[in-house]
Amino acid sequence: MSDITLNDLRRFVIRSGVEVAYQDAAGRKCLMDIKGIVRIPGIGAPPAFTVDQVLAEATRFVVIPTNPKDEQHTLDRTAMAEAIKATAPASSAAATKEE
């Protein structure tokens, strides 16, 4: 499985101007808003899980655009990792070498 971290997802959300809802196979859901803040919808007490645990096991990601005219779309874990990679800046390892 592709390794997606909260910071990777946060960077994607902020740069893309979207919200991302993700859930694992057990149905536990989290929502990251356009500011990069993660919320657990419909919870009134401290959960028995962390948002990191849900992200590590997430199988489905719903990208929710802020423009109501745009449609939301669902991505699997691999497609989400590719979308995150596409919005990431060039790594410092790709910088030119000094001779």
Confidence of residue 99 (pLDDT cuts 50, 70, 90): very low
The pLDDT of 4-22, averaged and rounded, is 95
The full set of domain ranges for the chain reads: 6-88
Beginning with the edge strand found earlier in the chain, give each strand of the sheet holding 29-32 in spatial order: 38-39, 29-32, 18-24, 58-65, 73-76
Per the model's pLDDT, the better-predicted residue between 22 and 95 turns out to be 22
